[in-house]
Structure 1
Amino acid sequence: MGYQNISFPEKTKFLVTGSAGFIGSNLVEAIINLGYQVRGLDNLSTGKKENVDLFLHHPNYEFVEGDIRDLDTCMKACDGIDFVLHQAAWGSVPRSIELPLLYEEINLKGTLNMLEAARQNGVKKFVYASSSSVYGDEPTLPKQEGREGKVLSPYALTKKSDEEYARLYTSLYDLDTYGLRYFNVFGKRQDPDGAYAAVIPKFIKQLLNDKQPVINGDGKQSRDFTYIENVIEANLKACKANSEAAGKVFNIAYGGREFLIDIYYHLTQALGKDIQPIFGPERRGDIKHSNADISKAKELLGYDPEWSFEKGIEAAIDWYKADLKALKVV
């Protein structure tokens, strides 16, 4: 269970792109704690400088401020690297509908630059973040790899295209690639601010500040909320996976299903708040229900997530409560 017992050769070096972001900074922390070297790459467009500063004192950490849209930057970042954990991207379905050209540049061209840089530098394995959004309008639950519908947003299209490019880099250039379709990841250091903030940290911050959160739609949409520790496990186990699993994509989730309105009232109870939500319009491009079949990741990656939603949300609430200054609780 978990990833604490995963081992690599002593001098192994990882590159984490998007290392100043939520998922990236947690990966950096986990790799450092395991005793390996890690280089972070981020242009700080959505990542936070404080997430970089957390590790700058550590002898096994090196940070490069740079943009994945620049191939030369990607080439330098991949120099001497064994494993790439590519997390750099712009998220948010609604924002991608507003800014499709920018999403194409960052999420698609940027990923292609990283694939090419990894290939030219002889990287052993290239593990990258995909998304459950690639399932689009396919209604069948649980979501299963190979059964996708029409994508509903530019964000989803960039992730679907990334998967195809990665598959080609495995079949044409022998670069072992592993796509991880994340399902609604949450946990410590996830940003609660901004118009496109993830729902769990946003709810927690607003409730702690005694404000009424807005739920888009009727609250009956469901998600396979996945705690960050499960995602770290998936990335590291993909680095240990057999090459026969390369070129494939994998659902990374816990395999559960939570309704948004239930989560909201769970949080109000946990935080001791009696605040009713405001129901707003549904968001364009959103998938109504999401639940993952994780059997493929279990079989081919040895993925065995130990953090249930209940265990994860308790840990997340504790972390946000301890970080009241960042939440600006008055």
Structure 2
Amino acid sequence: MAIRKYLVTGGTGFIGSALVRRLVKDGHDVRVVDNDLRGSSARLADVLPSITLIPCDVRDADAMTEAAKGCESILHLAALNGTENFYNRPDLVLDVGVRGMYGALEAAKRNGITEFVLASSSEAYQTPPVVPTPEDVPLTIPDPWNPRYSYGGSKLISEIMLANYNRDLFKKAIIFRPHNVYGPDMGWEHVLPQLILRAKEQIAKHPDGKVPFEIQGDGSQTRSFVHIDDFIDGLLAMVEKGEHRNVYHIGTREEITIRTLVEQIFAWFGREAELVSTPLPAGGTMRRCPDTTKLEALGYAPKITIAQGIEDIAPWYVANAHLKPAA
């Protein structure tokens, strides 16, 4: 990649900080915008001397305009993610998602920035009509009254905004949809950290024999998970080689049932789970796995299996369980 000046919003988040570190490693000039609403600037401690970190709310278009001065590209990742947030703070999820997108687009327009890369989500299409799922499936919100869709709705709106704002300005406007990115220090509100920490707690309560462990439904629902290292490889391939006004799915085709995922987590602990079914929450998706053909054509080739990834993420969460915020 040619050396460029990037503005990364949400740069102290899990994905954002990994992206910032890679951009710095590759020699780019990186400016980071975040207010640490969900992220933490501590994630960037190792590269702070090499970046410009601007405490800024992406919803503030004037502040964003100032932050983006002199930049050549905006990589817009800022959002309030996490399933718990979708249900408990849907108003804030929507506010950050939609007004934050407006703030970033205004910053691009006022500064004449011609490249804009948007982090969307698989939540934008929610229940896929086909699996593995290509990028051209319809975007849907099954039930606007269900707060579960606050995040997916904000991403759907953001995609439409990128497609229609600044149409004459952008020479490169690209959307990427992450599919279950994971790794150490990814936060506490996601399925892998929650399963790992619940397994740790249940094992402590049951030192012998099989460990009773509740799962939603019968565990036959599937997901595909992509390790953060593979994900960043895919993202940078897209930033460098992706085509204007295109969407790219970033994930893996390794589809796994939640039941098997739990069994692999317990295997890492050296124990065996006795799975206990509980009702599925409304709005869940039974199956999700991306078709990554478009990204693979740009050279993307994920290397880390979920079994290998568990060996990376589980030790971090076990060692740092004391850092989990109180409920």
CA contact (8 A) 2:114 2:169 kept: no
**Which amino acid in the other structure matches residue 33 of structure 2?**
L
**Which amino acid in the other structure matches residue 155 of structure 2?**
K
Work out which of the residue numbers 78, 85, 100 in structure 2 matches 1:110: 100
C-alpha change, 1:235 and 1:115, in structure 2 (3 Å) is: farther
CA contact (8 A) 1:125 1:175 kept: yes
Corresponding residue number in structure 2 for 1:179: 175
**Which amino acid in the other structure matches residue 164 of structure 1?**
I
Q: What is the CA distance between 1:289 and its match in structure 2?
A: 0.5
Determine the C-alpha separation between the residues in 2 that align with 1:251 and 1:35: 26
Cα RMSD, aligned residues only = 2.5
Taking every aligned residue pair, what percent have the same amino acid on both sides?
A: 28
Corresponding residue number in structure 2 for 1:3: none
Determine the C-alpha separation between the residues in 1 that align with 2:63 and 2:213: 40
Question: Is 1:70 the counterpart of 2:52 in the alignment?
Answer: no
Q: TM-score, normalised by structure 1?
A: 0.85
Q: What is the CA distance between 1:229 and its match in structure 2?
A: 1.4
Corresponding residue number in structure 2 for 1:35: 27
Determine the C-alpha separation between the residues in 2 that align with 1:53 and 1:270: 30
C-alpha change, 1:40 and 1:263, in structure 2 (3 Å) is: same
**SS of the residue aligned with 1:128?**
strand
**SS of the residue aligned with 2:241?**
coil
CA contact (8 A) 1:119 1:175 kept: no
**Which amino acid in the other structure matches residue 227 of structure 1?**
H
Deviations 1:17-57 (A, max 9, x none): 1122111111122222223232221111111242244433x
CA contact (8 A) 2:238 2:295 kept: no
Determine the C-alpha separation between the residues in 1 that align with 2:160 and 2:23: 28
Moved more, 247-256 or 91-100: 91-100
Determine the C-alpha separation between the residues in 1 that align with 2:240 and 2:313: 28
Work out which of the residue numbers 282, 285, 292 in structure 1 matches 2:280: 282
Q: TM-score, normalised by structure 2?
A: 0.85
Moved more, 35-44 or 219-228: 35-44
C-alpha change, 1:175 and 1:285, in structure 2 (3 Å) is: farther
Corresponding residue number in structure 2 for 1:265: 263
Corresponding residue number in structure 1 for 2:314: 317
**Which amino acid in the other structure matches residue 268 of structure 1?**
F
Determine the C-alpha separation between the residues in 2 that align with 1:235 and 1:140: 23
**Which amino acid in the other structure matches residue 288 of structure 1?**
M
C-alpha change, 1:276 and 1:326, in structure 2 (3 Å) is: farther
**Which amino acid in the other structure matches residue 28 of structure 1?**
V
CA contact (8 A) 1:163 1:249 kept: no
Q: What is the CA distance between 1:114 and its match in structure 2?
A: 0.4
Matched residues, number: 311
Work out which of the residue numbers 5, 11, 18 in structure 2 matches 1:13: 5
* Structure 2 unaligned regions, length at least 5: 143-148, 205-211
Question: Is 1:55 the counterpart of 2:47 in the alignment?
Answer: yes
